[in-house]
Amino acid sequence: MKCRRCKKEAEVELRSHNAAFCRDCFLLFFYNQLNKAIKQFRMFTKKQRILLAVSGGKDSMSLWLALVELGYDVTALFVDLGISGFSELARKKVVAFSERFNAPLRVVDLKEEGIPIPEVVKKLKRPACAVCGRIKRYYFNMEGLRGGFDVLATGHNLDDETSRLFSNVLHWKMEYLEDQAPVLPDEDGLLRKVKPFFRLTEFEIAAYAFFKGIDYLTSGCPFSKGATFSSYKRHLNRIEYESPATKIDFYQGFLKNLRPLLKKKAKEELHHCRVCGYPTFGDVCFVCRLKGFE
């Protein structure tokens, strides 16, 4: 197979783009897709300060490098969940990346905060991923606001977004569909959120990480069964295989045709947490309550 652009031997075949690329031309394609997403949704400019949520996995690490290489003002935030045998390794990869590429990194350590995930999960007896997600969101927003960042970026890719969309559509979860987009505006004192990788698939990001020699964490969190939307990803991949470009069409079609019909319901009024100032329905926010404030 030949590279579509330069006719050299191709290394990557992309059926959804009806193309194959050599390594160099794939990287051009990759940055092109990323730029297209950033520009199309006016995610951020080079003058703005981006806080990037990094986990140590391929998506967030790849986005980190790509934003650095494209010259954006990006600072990574790693939340050390305090899960032994997992968090240490993730943290090591993230710190090593930061040193190798001389890229700014902030770390929040949930042990130091007094709420490591294993203890919280044991105490609350609720699904680990839901609780953990809520705590991470808290720190991403708080660090972003305190640090004067303009926008919070995450590494969600096309497979994440379409499998979530698929699940929300199969069960017509209208309130979740309202919240699904590559850009969520700032509201209730929370940071603006963007997903610059929404046009790129897991496969494309893995190829990028491989070509760039990024050393990322491949093991999954022991608390998640790794099952989040994974069966929907499998089904969508089968459909994509039969009809290339279905995933991106499904997602873009949703943004164009359905999303404008969904009117955001008026939310309950939010207060600010008496302890930390974070938006909350009650008097004290979820994280401060976990920390023992009443």
Which residues in this chain contact a second copy in the complex, by CB under 8 A?
169-172, 174, 231, 235, 238-239, 242, 246, 249-250, 253-254, 256-258, 261-262
Instruction: Give the integer Cα–Cα distance in Å for 255 and 144.
Output: 27
Cβ-based nearer residue to a second copy, 96 or 174? 174
In the complex, what is the shortest distance from the CB of residue 29 to a second copy, in angstroms, rounded to a whole number?
Answer: 25
Least separation, in Å, of the C-beta of 212 and a second copy? 33
CB of 200 to a second copy, least distance (A): 20
Q: DSSP string covering 239-285, please?
A: HHHHSTTHHHHHHHHIIIIIGGG-PPPPPPPPEE-TTT--EESSSS-
CB distance 276 to 288 below 8 Å: yes
DSSP H or E stretch at residue 12: strand 12-14
Kindly state the smallest distance separating residue 235's Cβ from a second copy, in Å: 6
Q: Which is nearer to a second copy, 169 or 270 (CB)?
A: 169
Q: Which two tokens stand for residue 160?
A: 């994440």
Is there a contact between 98 and 104 (Cβ–Cβ < 8 Å)? yes
* Token pair 């092109």 in the structure block, residue: 32
Q: How far is the CB of 260 from a second copy (least distance, A)?
A: 10
